[in-house]
Structure 1
């Protein structure tokens, strides 16, 4: 069915447009037309005055939501429940993320995500395997007993995963460059795995070599990385100066000082920084705690922490991340929205169908009020409807 969405300002991913309407044809965007246009056979949907219709948010790092942790529920139902919980916060596409575990659990999670991606309107566009080939010294809350270097069987299993998704999604693997040989990084990339660096104490030089081997991005920049040292700048500086690599940013005012993020934005070429949430099960709930690896994680003052005060993911959603990018980092609305949609789409190589309002793109949309709070979403042309502000 064709729908003409009118009454809202449009942000295409490139420019803001007044006096225009968005024409949908089932799951896809057919065209942008003048708001006064009459389109035969299209149902006219009038959106609230003063609202903004923009590309739906894309989150590449989502450990959980709606009370579900993907590590504990590595199933189709688990992936769908997480996606549903994040939709009220404007996220229309995401990678359910499984952190360091035994490889069987991680591969099972990836296979479940691949099946969930076939469900129309699921919002699942792949899977993020964060580990297990990480630095034990920079593991954060990741379980040390599962951290190791990859072997040939591991690589065979990981290289087979992108075929399960086909064109429906991507497999993102976070690894520590010092734990994986360049030849193995190159093999993973040739197989279609998107490789990112994180939870790493790699040197500047080792990281640069990994980028040359095909490392495409960096997971939650500055977190689980050594601080930049004048004689040993390490992975964080290599991430900032790798002009063709993307960096994920947790903009909650807690994980990284806003001024350091602003510095990184000034150094990095425009379009190479993207927002992530690193969200955990409490997102979309009133829960004050949850369990990770059998340990209690507490939700306190905007933080998720262990009994010892170690951060365990982030208590933030993408709608708040967009607002924080404006209030804490001084970005304009358009750039904050790009960091939540267009740039992650480019990072994943899905920018031919996601991240913009343009003919031929999937109709993944978020409707915002004047304060960038979420009024509604559409996934593949299907409107969620009846949302409260988030």
Structure 2
């Protein structure tokens, strides 16, 4: 057992001084006052937080790659291990490895890989995010058009068979997808996200009832909001749909993020959409056949199309506080509790609470990362 002392603990909705977090194995088991510690746990090992903020580990529901690797390029345990180790440097303790538009063969390979991981927590893996190939050509972004297609029952059945333990999110364009396919994924416990979609407001609202609960990278890869044609953005605003947002300053203006926060509240959560250059000095890479450059923090194709991001979760939290006029508490929730709630794992992730996984981040008063604990182990 271990005790985290001398920190400002983010418990519930606020930071508390004078509290101690008790960890046993992979889990948080107790929270008590510092005055009680020595009498209840006299011999316990202590971890000094040095007056830093102590928060839950960050959760990223859209991560294509980092540390020099892309999940699409090499669908392997080694790739997931590199991604996890890189994530931990930036406070991200759990993530959904994201497979963008590709062949059925690669989708099956990813399904089999994740199904055969005995302890996904060792790799920080929550389950797959399959982003495409059932998307709109018009809103494809960097996705390879040769693989974009309508969903077929055989492949959907394989995704459903893999189950919610292995597939967390499927992103698709509702205007190109039969409502019964959306319903089948939803009934299997898989979160269906609208994304890379040119749907009208009406098309999204029609399919929402069949199980669309999420939206992938709000504003990006979707029909924009207009006062006569609200599009996908308007449908998301006018719904219970939860959405990820990329707070890197490139994917959308910070003012647009502020507006989304005001409209959506806890339905909006931080994602990175990160790609290979994160944690490296590489100048370019290939994303499903497209050359993508990395310069000055921005990832872009030869035609200027954004190709993922180089954002990290800790930087995203800082950006939300600095540029989006929200409290640190709300920024932390957007990186922890809100993504956990979005995919229904808030009973074990996203909070400093007894029974939850001991995924913990220490931030100094400038919001720089100081220490990470993943499943009870100091990184």
| TM-score, normalization by structure 2 | 0.96
Q: Deviations over 1:178-199 (max 9, x none)?
A: 1111111011111121110000
| Higher mean displacement: 4-13 or 141-150 | 4-13
Q: Deviations over 1:79-133 (max 9, x none)?
A: 1211111111000000011100002202211332343461553211111000000
Q: Deviations over 1:332-363 (max 9, x none)?
A: 00000000000000011000000001111111
Q: Which residue of the partner structure matches residue 242 of structure 2?
A: 246
Matched residue SS, 1:271: helix
Q: Which residue of the partner structure matches residue 112 of structure 2?
A: 111
Q: Which residue of the partner structure matches residue 66 of structure 1?
A: 67
- The verdict on how the C-alpha distance between 1:89 and 1:125 changes in structure 2, with shifts beyond 3 A counting, is same
Matched residue SS, 2:9: strand
Contact 2:349 2:357 in 1 (8 A): yes
Separation (CA, whole Å) in 2 of partners of 1:298 and 1:312: 8
Q: Is 1:294 aligned to 2:295, yes or no?
A: no
Q: Which residue of the partner structure matches residue 128 of structure 1?
A: 129
Separation (CA, whole Å) in 2 of partners of 1:114 and 1:372: 36
Q: Which residue of the partner structure matches residue 27 of structure 1?
A: 26
CA displacement at 1:65 relative to structure 2: 0.7
Structure 2: gaps of 5 or more residues = none
Q: Which residue of the partner structure matches residue 258 of structure 2?
A: 262
What number of residue pairs does the alignment pair up?
A: 377
Q: Which residue of the partner structure matches residue 4 of structure 1?
A: 3
| TM-score, normalization by structure 1 | 0.93
Q: Deviations over 1:27-80 (max 9, x none)?
A: 110111112312437533232422111100000000001111000111112112
Q: Which residue of the partner structure matches residue 183 of structure 1?
A: 180
Matched residue SS, 1:304: strand
Contact 2:111 2:159 in 1 (8 A): no
Q: Is 1:84 aligned to 2:81, yes or no?
A: no
Separation (CA, whole Å) in 1 of partners of 2:43 and 2:28: 13
CA displacement at 1:209 relative to structure 2: 1.6
**Match for 1:206 among 203, 208, 211?**
203
Matched residue SS, 1:21: strand
Q: Is 1:375 aligned to 2:374, yes or no?
A: no
RMSD of aligned residue pairs (Cα, Å): 1.4
**Match for 2:230 among 215, 220, 233?**
233
Q: Deviations over 1:269-290 (max 9, x none)?
A: x210000000001111122221
CA displacement at 1:225 relative to structure 2: 1.2
Separation (CA, whole Å) in 1 of partners of 2:350 and 2:167: 15
